[in-house]
Structure 1
Amino acid sequence: MNRFRAAVLAGALLTLGLPAMAVAAPDTTMHTACTSTTNSTTPTMHCFALYRSTHAFGPNATPEGYGPADLRSAYKLPSTGGAGQTIAIVDAYDNPNAEADLATYRQQFGLPACTTANGCFKKVNQRGAASPLPTGSPNWGVEISLDLDMVSAACPDCHILLVEADTPTSENLGAAEDTAARSGASAVSNSYGTDEFNGMDADAKHYQHPGVAILASSGDYGFQPASFPASLANVIAVGGTTLAKADNARGWTETAWSRAGSGCSAWIPKPAWQHDANCGMRTVADVAAVADTDPGLAVYDTYGLGTQAGWITVGGTSASSPFIAGIIGLAGNGSQITDASSLYTHADKLFDVVGGSNGYCGGDYLCTGLDGYDAPTGLGSPNGVGAL
């Protein structure tokens, strides 16, 4: 955490009357796919994909972690819907195996084929052209595979557009965002972020496209100052949960994930539709879905992990953002969602996530899963498509 972010977090804790304390140490079985890069003149984003190393990797391994049927059960999703809808994914660099790996995932779980040939899948560069594609990056390759698989899990009948930025700078990812929004997509998911920075208002325009739902992951570092672009008022900030099967009416329990990003923006004013008490600025997140790597989500990737390529178990809020984007496609309402405000008027159609914590805030809603709104999980997780 840099000095500015540390100062903002300390200020938030003091507002609550609490001493400044560090968040819990991360689980060492989790590996970060993308590392953070800091450049004083060109802000650089990093992806939020995490993967576990405590199981057997490889193309012949049995998939471990939740698959599409588990997620449809947990979130009460309809088995059909989304035909004619396109979900766009924005990432950096190229994953040359993206389409082939997506085909393996969908075949494994009985989902319809989604290929370039049948018009379901399309991959372009940040200018919207099929070539030349960016240089490949194994790290971002894991992120791309995760994003494509999570959209597929949520909305098997949706078309998928993958827009690959030349590099993960705010400028290039912003250009890719504009291309994705111009494509006719009903929702655009962004599983990356960076520290808020002076001058980010110049990049904010790339994430504001009326008639297109824009989503961003809240981050995987627990209770800290908010991450850009999730902190933008017109972006739906997606937090993370821990999801477990249970013997109850829902069949599942859900709590705030210990690493789900949450925080109070230092730059973005509080939207008129957000009314939480202990953050005078924009609070992250708005909504959430599964992100915990235990037991995690089954993903197929043959590019990002070298000799460990194949079936891997992945998580992070990099999973929850494209999954929620897919549910928006399933509902067919993306053109009516210009920010998170509609979620705040349909909170009764979400599962309220209670329990769990992502840091130290004396049990306050900014870092604790409580009744009603809380920052790690927002208003809750999808209960069908009614809120989206």
Structure 2
Amino acid sequence: MTTSTRLVRTLRTAATVLLPLALAIPAAGAAQAATPAPAAGTVPTTLPADVENACGPAPAGQARCLAEIRTDVHGGLGVRGPRAAGAADAPLPAGYGPADLRSAYDLPTTGGADQTVALVDAYDDPTAEADLAVYRATYGLPACTTDNGCFRKVNQSGAASPLPVSAGASGWAEEEALDLDMVSAACPQCHILLVEADEPLEQDLAQSVDSAAALGATEVSNSYGVTEHNGDDVLAQDYSHPGVAVVASSGDAGYGVPSVPAAYPGVVAAGGTSLTPADNDRGWQETAWAGAGSGCSAWFAKPAWQQDTDCPGRTIADVSAVADPQTGLAVYNTTGPRTGWAVVGGTSASSPFIAGLIALAGNPSAFPDASRLYSAGAASGLNDVVGGSNGNCAGDYLCTGVEGYDGPTGNGTPNGLSAL
């Protein structure tokens, strides 16, 4: 890219960003009223023939869950309870499991026992605990149940009852199963708090985050998104709690208008990669996933710790992990239209996984925002992801996996826990 081309693009981007930023700043004492957001920006226009969205398009003012499910891979119904004696050599479900992820990201097998990872979702998944038991037993992970104090499910107010209506055919139960399984894969010893909003309304989900923090969550994952819009600053405070690391999916619509909560200044935005085995020292390779959300915020100013040059606002994402459903994760779920084992992806996978890794490292207070991931010392603890693209930006870093920082994958993927 020539210097003149980059300058034109930068000036054009600045014009589209700074005007909304100026309009979004109310006069002193003025009330700040949120306006409904268009939902189209969070829904990819095309998907591979063998992939479908767990959740369909959301009405204005509602969030859409970001799980993507392979339609050509089915792994059966699994078994409830511990695996039978001698079953250790039995074939595992299709898709990556905990051992694959530990290998790919060089993770320890222990840690996080004093951490509680909260997962914020909408509607009730009535089989969440039972399905989680199947996943963990299948992969030899320790049980995480209500009885042993590891698992807890509450409503958006933080109470055990009444729970919301069942997710049914909405797709949110599959999202909840993905979240639970990815936290389990990342941090088997962590406690898990599932907070279920009454509906996928922005206000309900924001209240759920507040409740998670009030109940002692040390990390909170949010695998949903709404196209950013005027009035977002009203809810940004709900996603910022001292001592709590808040993570959100960057979106599954590729390069374009960012989504919230990922664009909030206090949130770690989790992008996505395609992860495949490789004949190299690491044993794996990653490229930017074509669906990973990235973009330049028109409503949130660039934080001081973010130094990229072609976006005058907050740039998405900050960090990443596997999200491509073509290189997806094994997930078990029995509520909703698709039951049993499935291969699932989306940045709905990378957000709970990253939250689980922050818990595994045991240092959530280092994440009042994503600044730690931009520090000089973090680079050695991240795999720089080069290659792949999530849109059309003439090869610019905002939509292309390049050396150093880029939009689809942020500063890279975890290489051990030193960056966290």
TM > 0.5 fold call: yes
Residues 100-157 of structure 1, C-alpha deviation per residue, up to 9 Å, x if partnerless?
0000000000000000000000000011111100001131000000000000000000
Distance 2:246 2:345 in 1: 20
1:185, distance to aligned residue in structure 2 (A)? 1.4
Gaps of 5+ in 1: 1-10, 17-22
Distance 2:99 2:193 in 1: 23
Distance 2:203 2:74 in 1: 38
What SS does the aligned partner of 1:54 have? strand
1:34 is the counterpart of 2:55: yes
1:95, distance to aligned residue in structure 2 (A)? 0.1
Of residues 231, 235, 255, the one that matches 1:223 is 255
1:304, distance to aligned residue in structure 2 (A)? 2.3
1:8 aligns to what? Answer: none
Of residues 401, 408, 411, the one that matches 1:369 is 401
Distance 1:206 1:98 in 2: 25
1:384 aligns to what? Answer: 416
Count how many residue pairs are aligned between Structure 1 and Structure 2: 368
Of residues 191, 205, 211, the one that matches 2:223 is 191
Instruction: Give the letter for the 1:27 counterpart.
Output: P
Distance 1:96 1:246 in 2: 39
Distance 2:359 2:13 in 1: 39
**Do 2:13 and 2:312's aligned partners in 1 also have CA atoms closer than 8 Å?**
no
Instruction: Give the letter for the 1:282 counterpart.
Output: R
1:51 is the counterpart of 2:69: yes
Distance 2:67 2:10 in 1: 27
1:124 aligns to what? Answer: 154
1:12, distance to aligned residue in structure 2 (A)? 7.4
Distance 1:64 1:185 in 2: 31
What SS does the aligned partner of 1:354 have? coil
What SS does the aligned partner of 1:55 have? strand
**Do 1:12 and 1:264's aligned partners in 2 also have CA atoms closer than 8 Å?**
no
Map 1:240-255 to 2 at 5 A.
240-255=272-287
Of residues 144, 158, 162, the one that matches 2:190 is 158
1:334 is the counterpart of 2:332: no
**Do 2:271 and 2:321's aligned partners in 1 also have CA atoms closer than 8 Å?**
yes
User: Does the C-alpha gap of structure 1 residues 203 and 24 become closer, same or farther in structure 2, counting only changes over 3 Å?
Assistant: closer
Distance 2:46 2:10 in 1: 20
159-168 or 334-343, larger mean C-alpha shift: 334-343
Of residues 376, 386, 392, the one that matches 1:360 is 392
**Do 2:74 and 2:340's aligned partners in 1 also have CA atoms closer than 8 Å?**
no
User: Does the C-alpha gap of structure 1 residues 190 and 12 become closer, same or farther in structure 2, counting only changes over 3 Å?
Assistant: farther
Of residues 107, 112, 115, the one that matches 2:145 is 115
Distance 2:197 2:46 in 1: 32
2:124 aligns to what? Answer: 94
1:24, distance to aligned residue in structure 2 (A)? 8.0
1:25, distance to aligned residue in structure 2 (A)? 3.6
1:315 aligns to what? Answer: 345
Of residues 76, 81, 85, the one that matches 2:115 is 85
**Do 1:24 and 1:359's aligned partners in 2 also have CA atoms closer than 8 Å?**
no
What SS does the aligned partner of 2:120 have? strand
Of residues 265, 274, 297, the one that matches 1:265 is 297
Instruction: Give the letter for the 2:59 counterpart.
Output: T
What SS does the aligned partner of 1:259 have? coil
Percent identity between matched residues is 61
**Do 1:13 and 1:361's aligned partners in 2 also have CA atoms closer than 8 Å?**
no
What SS does the aligned partner of 1:103 have? helix
2:39 aligns to what? Answer: none
1:192, distance to aligned residue in structure 2 (A)? 0.3
Residues 207-235 of structure 1, C-alpha deviation per residue, up to 9 Å, x if partnerless?
01111000000000100111111001110
1:20 aligns to what? Answer: none
1:271, distance to aligned residue in structure 2 (A)? 0.2
What SS does the aligned partner of 1:82 have? coil
Distance 2:400 2:106 in 1: 25
Instruction: Give the letter for the 2:53 counterpart.
Output: T
Distance 2:11 2:138 in 1: 47
Of residues 213, 227, 236, the one that matches 1:181 is 213
Residues 296-330 of structure 1, C-alpha deviation per residue, up to 9 Å, x if partnerless?
1000001023xx41101100000000000000110
1:244, distance to aligned residue in structure 2 (A)? 0.3
Distance 1:294 1:284 in 2: 23
1:347, distance to aligned residue in structure 2 (A)? 2.4
**Do 1:91 and 1:165's aligned partners in 2 also have CA atoms closer than 8 Å?**
yes
143-152 or 332-341, larger mean C-alpha shift: 332-341
**Do 2:381 and 2:419's aligned partners in 1 also have CA atoms closer than 8 Å?**
yes
1:62, distance to aligned residue in structure 2 (A)? 5.3
Distance 1:226 1:13 in 2: 19
User: Does the C-alpha gap of structure 1 residues 332 and 370 become closer, same or farther in structure 2, counting only changes over 3 Å?
Assistant: same
Instruction: Give the letter for the 1:333 counterpart.
Output: N
Residues 155-198 of structure 1, C-alpha deviation per residue, up to 9 Å, x if partnerless?
00000000000001011111101001112111100000111122
Instruction: Give the letter for the 1:165 counterpart.
Output: A
1:64, distance to aligned residue in structure 2 (A)? 0.6
Gaps of 5+ in 2: 1-8, 15-43, 79-90
Of residues 324, 328, 335, the one that matches 1:303 is 335
335-344 or 55-64, larger mean C-alpha shift: 55-64
Distance 2:49 2:135 in 1: 27
Instruction: Give the letter for the 1:46 counterpart.
Output: R
Q: Looking at CA atoms only, which structure, 1 or 2, has the larger radius of gyration? A: 2
1:33, distance to aligned residue in structure 2 (A)? 0.8
Distance 1:246 1:176 in 2: 40
Instruction: Give the letter for the 1:300 counterpart.
Output: Y
